[in-house]
Structure 1
Amino acid sequence: MNRFERDRWTPTIRAALLGSIAVVGMGSGALAQGIVYDTDVVNNGEAITLEYWTPYGWAFQQDWVDAYTARHPNVTINIQNQPWGDYWNKLPVALRNDDGPDIIGMHIGWAAGLANLLEPWPIDPEALATDYALAGSNMIDGDVLFMNMSVVHGGVFYNKAHWAEAGLTENDIPSTWEELRTVAERLTQRNADGQMTRAGFCYQGVFRDLITDLNYQSAAWNFSEDGVSAAMNTLAAQENLAFMADLYGDGGVCSPLIADTNWDGMAQGRISMGYAYNWVGGWLNGNSEVDWGWFLTPAAPDAPALGRNNVENSFAVSAASPDDEKAVALDFVKFVIASEDLVLQHVLETGGVPTRRSLLDDPKVQENPVVAAAIAADTLSRTVYPGPIPVAWEAGYDYVRDILAEGGDIDFASVLAEGEAIANRRLAGSGFVSIERDYPGAGAFGE
């Protein structure tokens, strides 16, 4: 029986998952601590070296290592930063050997493929759920295999200077997609030849994220009832794809030629509003002079969800590592997740809503305008977590995106049917089972 099979999630874990979603917006004042780090000596005080592979350039990873080795000076942890694509290609092979990495930087898209190569954490799920919302999202077949420290979701970034030039104020922030289209038309600029020089609203680089959001807003699931197959060719998805195509059509508010991605286009001043996940705010701060604002993804007043949320993973431990290295690696991850200060570093750099409840009111967290607005709007309880979707699923919507980019007349049902077939061929045998229907607002969705 596969580790991802739905019926093997225990009632306790499912309750922890749903309960933690319900209270994510609560303050932290009366919350008890669940995970306590109290290890005095590791590896009997004898010298030991661990290898930590990561595709992330996050500076705080070294801070985590330094804090741990300061407490346990007999431990050396070598961090190896690796290129993104190469990392995921060679990691499955490396994790099958006891001379591979002991600790690995993790991403939700590879959870399904790597699960059987990861060591379960010896942590009580109920203790984890005491400290962390979405605690169940760390679990596969009842085991904690990785750590989700922050949650990200879609929203709209906008250029405040463009907004002012068009005579728009905060009173014009759209709450529906119809309102957004109207605002985008005011922001769009063309030259004398009719060529678009500034786009009003784009979804460059995030096509599949936006259509997934629109499907959830339309009360349509993105996976089959049993959770094992993609459900792309639905009536709602056809209508949403038609809407997205119209944004790029004749008289539309964006063009495929305007920029490769929303964030690049905004940095260049060529896109006025762009849909994207939380991290783009930090990227714009580091790569442009744009004075940007942000607002929640528009949705109809009766929408059952704002869209999808996703989790930022931290690390996992190789099951193939020698027992002594594995024990210290597991102690290291417990050390990190038990520390508010170390988890805070992750939250601030990834720009997501912290899953650690005690950080929701932290002044440094609240300084991020995207995160502060997301917490205030209780977005985590209004967005759907579908589970650790494998990157294999992305190929289906990537096909749809590429057909859409070609322009011309498109049979949306046929294109989505082919995309669904591509996704399901890739998903077959992955072991993935979506948990989207565990969403607390699932009652408003159709079957």
Structure 2
Amino acid sequence: MVTRRTVLKSGAALGLFTLAGCAPQGTKASSAPSTPAKSVDVAAAGTVTLSMLDFWGGDSAKWVGNAVKAYQQKYPNVTIKRTSVDWGQLTQTANLRLKEKNPPDIITVNNGWQSLGTLSKAGLVLNLDGYSKSFGWDRFPSTILRQTQFTADGTEMGSGSLFATPVASSSLIGLYYNKTILERVGATVPTDLASFEDACTKAKAAGVVPIGYGSQDKGSSTAILLALQDLFGDQKKINDFVYSTGSVKADEIGMKDAAERLKSYQDKGWLTPNHAGIQFADAGDAFLKGKSAFRFEYTGTLAFQGAQKQEYGYVQLPQVTGGKVVGTGASTAVALGSKCKNPDVAASFLDFLAGPQTAQYVVENGFLPLLNDVKAPADNPEFGTEITGQRSLDKDNGYVPYFDWSTPSMLDTLGGQVQQLLAGRSTPDALVKAVQADYDKFQTAR
């Protein structure tokens, strides 16, 4: 799971690796898959030092630090030198860092065209297909692995070869609720869109703001739209659109249905009054203070404290048709620099970052684990509901990527359209047309 950076990471786009030898210096990453030894014996590798450049900070740095320490204890011959910098700084300079005389062996990257797509096309990160087979990374949901795949010519995302892997942490978009408010207005925890809207009707009638919202920030204002789209859109079509296959149009992915629903919520007075002047942080703070019944949000952005862990919950609503659980979600992507001196050992470490021991560190620091079956803290039922939502996506292989990965400018386009829609200066049809125009422009330019 990722913290507030998730919104920005998604907007900016928006979250490895035998002892046989070194990666060819300067070789195009897309030219050939990695060729690991049939078995990796890290303990017999001799003294190995790996450099890792990442953007994990705050509480995220704690689980990463624990994983590094545990791996070094398991393999005392390996030293991992970790350097952490600001997410924006790393994303903007990753290509330069990987071209340096002493580039990082392992690097966290942002998903999408302008980050991982650019790095893979330029040959700055390794093709990991060989390591995927060696370490069995097909254990991850295919809808997660697809997020870091690119074709060899760099023209298509979501297919081709693997250029980064996930870690044992993830972030989703879903629905948070206040149990106390729901009980007070005579509503139950929603299990689908209909029961959610029934609860909103009851909250409004009781004088409670149904949906906490702030739309001043373009990026974060889209969370509610994307969550609704996941309820209406066909999962495959959403994926194919984002991954720029060219076979799907913006009017086929549930975007209009989501925009119409969102506009209806505005018309019914279900959104926080004067939300256009409310910043992201203030909207989240108001929800935690009990100012609304619900809030659509990225996991990891609301800091539940004390009694709030008992009072709040999270749900991943199923689709309107068919009942499958589909939701926007991703993990931090980690790549191997093309000049990595010990790619096999690095691969072993990245496999460790995605494994159950690391997942336990992730949970202990309040983040969502990816795939691994880890127990939620008994004293934090709110977090338990988030893990339940995560597992429902794992079960249904129901992930779709952050929608703005579809083009470098999509988040700005989508956020601006949401603001105009709710201000009465745009329509659902116009929003969909703007999305298609942004997509077409990018397709023509690339």
TM-score (norm 1): 0.70
Match of 2:338 among 314, 319, 323: 319
Match of 1:332 among 346, 349, 357: 349
- Whichever residue aligns with residue 104 of structure 1, its letter is I
Match of 1:119 among 121, 126, 129: 126
Per-residue deviation, 1:244: 0.3
Q: Do structure 1's residue 217 and structure 2's residue 225 form an aligned pair?
A: no
Match of 1:241 among 239, 259, 265: 259
**Which residue is 2:17 aligned to?**
none
Query: Could you list the runs of 5+ residues in structure 1 that have no partner in the other structure?
Result: 10-34, 192-197, 431-447
The change in CA–CA distance for 1:53 and 1:277 in structure 2 (over 3 A counts) is closer
The change in CA–CA distance for 1:72 and 1:118 in structure 2 (over 3 A counts) is same
d(CA) in 1 for partners of 2:397, 2:138: 21
- Whichever residue aligns with residue 228 of structure 2, its letter is L
Match of 1:274 among 292, 295, 300: 295
d(CA) in 1 for partners of 2:414, 2:333: 26
d(CA) in 2 for partners of 1:346, 1:36: 28
Per-residue deviation, 1:398: 2.0
Map 1:366-405; keep pairs closer than 5 Å.
Answer: 368-374=383-389, 377=392, 380-381=395-396, 383-386=398-401, 389=405, 392=408, 393-405=410-422
Per-residue deviation, 1:391: 6.4
Match of 2:317 among 297, 311, 319: 297
Map 1:121-200; keep pairs closer than 5 Å.
Answer: 121=128, 122-125=130-133, 127-129=135-137, 131-134=139-142, 136-137=145-146, 139-140=149-150, 141-143=160-162, 145-168=164-187, 172-188=188-204, 199-200=209-210
The change in CA–CA distance for 1:376 and 1:148 in structure 2 (over 3 A counts) is closer
Conservation of the 8 A alpha-carbon contact between 1:37 and 1:334: no
Conservation of the 8 A alpha-carbon contact between 2:330 and 2:401: no
Map 1:18-37; keep pairs closer than 5 Å.
Answer: none
3-state SS of 1:183 partner: helix
Q: Deviations over 1:137-158 (max 9, x none)?
A: 3544333522253454433211
Conservation of the 8 A alpha-carbon contact between 2:169 and 2:369: yes
d(CA) in 2 for partners of 1:103, 1:180: 43
The change in CA–CA distance for 1:119 and 1:87 in structure 2 (over 3 A counts) is same
d(CA) in 2 for partners of 1:271, 1:159: 8
Conservation of the 8 A alpha-carbon contact between 1:396 and 1:421: no
Identity value in percent: 12
Conservation of the 8 A alpha-carbon contact between 2:51 and 2:104: yes
- Whichever residue aligns with residue 329 of structure 1, its letter is A
- Whichever residue aligns with residue 311 of structure 2, its letter is D
Conservation of the 8 A alpha-carbon contact between 2:241 and 2:249: yes
Q: Deviations over 1:110-136 (max 9, x none)?
A: 432333421234524275146444374
3-state SS of 1:294 partner: strand
**Which residue is 2:65 aligned to?**
62
**Which residue is 2:85 aligned to?**
82
Conservation of the 8 A alpha-carbon contact between 1:309 and 1:380: no
CA RMSD of aligned residues (A): 4.0
Conservation of the 8 A alpha-carbon contact between 1:278 and 1:370: no
Q: Deviations over 1:395-414 (max 9, x none)?
A: 33123223224x12533322
Per-residue deviation, 1:320: 3.6
The change in CA–CA distance for 1:240 and 1:136 in structure 2 (over 3 A counts) is closer
d(CA) in 2 for partners of 1:129, 1:404: 42
Conservation of the 8 A alpha-carbon contact between 2:230 and 2:328: no
Per-residue deviation, 1:83: 1.9
Conservation of the 8 A alpha-carbon contact between 2:200 and 2:211: yes
Query: Could you list the runs of 5+ residues in structure 2 that have no partner in the other structure?
Result: 1-27, 151-159
The change in CA–CA distance for 1:63 and 1:239 in structure 2 (over 3 A counts) is closer
The change in CA–CA distance for 1:341 and 1:239 in structure 2 (over 3 A counts) is closer
3-state SS of 2:210 partner: coil
Q: Do structure 1's residue 40 and structure 2's residue 43 form an aligned pair?
A: yes
**Which residue is 1:252 aligned to?**
270
Conservation of the 8 A alpha-carbon contact between 1:149 and 1:346: yes
